[in-house]
Structure 1
Amino acid sequence: MTDRLSKEARSALMRSIRAKDTKPELIVRRIAHRLGARFRLHRKDLPGTPDLVFPSRRL
């Protein structure tokens, strides 16, 4: 598949995409915290580096 953007433009676009603390993620974190769920953030020791990890529930 051919990319429509130049290498520099694609690099700039991908650089602007945030990996952590996005607005939807913060909303889910606030709701989970209000419900009493305790979680860990961005665990690097798990595959894929999940945003939220609930260790007590093994999720």
Structure 2
Amino acid sequence: MVEEVVILMAEDDEGHAGLIRRNLQRAGISNEIVHFKDGGETIDSGPSLFSDWNLPGQ
């Protein structure tokens, strides 16, 4: 049985988050994407994490 991977995205810029989301969709990736807007909202581990290096709160 294959378990779907949830993608965790940490990105403070809404525009960049939208671009990442659209590019993943264009690449055929239909996984659920959970968006965190700052370092304080992120969790320690997860299946995938796209992170902005300059997040507030890091």
Q: TM-score, normalised by structure 1?
A: 0.33
Q: Larger helix proportion, structure 1 or 2? A: 1
Q: Which has the higher contact order (CA 8 A, sep 6+)?
A: 2
Structure with the greater alpha carbon radius of gyration: 1
Q: Larger strand proportion, structure 1 or 2? A: 2
Q: TM-score, normalised by structure 2?
A: 0.34
